Amino acid sequence: MRISSIEEFPRELVPVEIPPHTVMLRGIAWDSNIYLVRDGEEALIIDTGTGVNWHVYTGIWEREGYLDGVEKAVIFNTHEHFDHVGGNRPLKEWLESKGAKVLFAAHETTAKTLEKGDDYVILAYSYGRKFEPQKVDIRLKEGDKLGIGSLELELVHTPGHTAGSSCLYLDDRETKLMFTGDTVFNGTVGRIDLPTGNGWELQESLEKLLEFEVDFGLPGHGRYIDEWRKNLTEILGWL
């Protein structure tokens, strides 16, 4: 299914294609949304849910052939929370079983937390789980570019929800996308009362995001953001 600015993302779990390179899966229950960006033999997966429902997502990718022939995959986490990183391991193993080389990527602050397995920040215990420390192969900072096939995604560091929270910007010419994690949703923002959260930093991050031209904001939970500037301006008005 393809979206346009007037259509709503459906509630049922069907893949939503955002031409030309992106597919969204809405997260089940507590899972984050999971995005796939594919170009040629390379793929990027943005966030992985809690790991409880990973086989549902891979079943859909398998059925639709979205990852057929993939040779290299990068799993990027928008931030440290367990509902975004819990599926990292099972998805890596599944991708490797398809013959892909898999690398983990994150902002350097998120990378540090994941490598320490810092459950105080990751909040694994809130989900009755434990996060095993995990090596992050690609550590990014503000302005760094992540290459997937011929595409380049720019990292925008947006602390506030957590210290490592980051967005990825994809100027795909046909469509300009911002993957926002839990920094900003449609009509609201992520919590700032969790470990390393900070309201002032979040405000500065939203002001930074206002400077980007974006057709669709693709958040970590819920439906997409189609009125990028209006959404941010309204939130900044009451924040």
* Contact set with Zn ion (CB under 5 A): 81, 182
DSSP three-state, residue 191: coil
Cβ(23)–Cβ(66) below 8 Å: yes
Nearer to Zn ion, 182 or 201 (CB): 182
Nearest-approach distance from CB 99 to Zn ion, in angstroms: 32
| CA 199 from centre of chain | 21
Q: How far is the CB of 209 from Zn ion (least distance, A)?
A: 16
Which is nearer to Zn ion, 81 or 157 (by Cβ)? 81
Question: Could you check whether the bond before residue 20 is cis, i.e. omega within 30 degrees of 0?
Answer: yes
**The tokens 């789980």 sit on which residue?**
129
53, 85, 141, 198 alpha-carbon torsion, rounded to 10°:
110
Task: Catalogue the E-assigned strands of 78-120.
Answer: 101-107
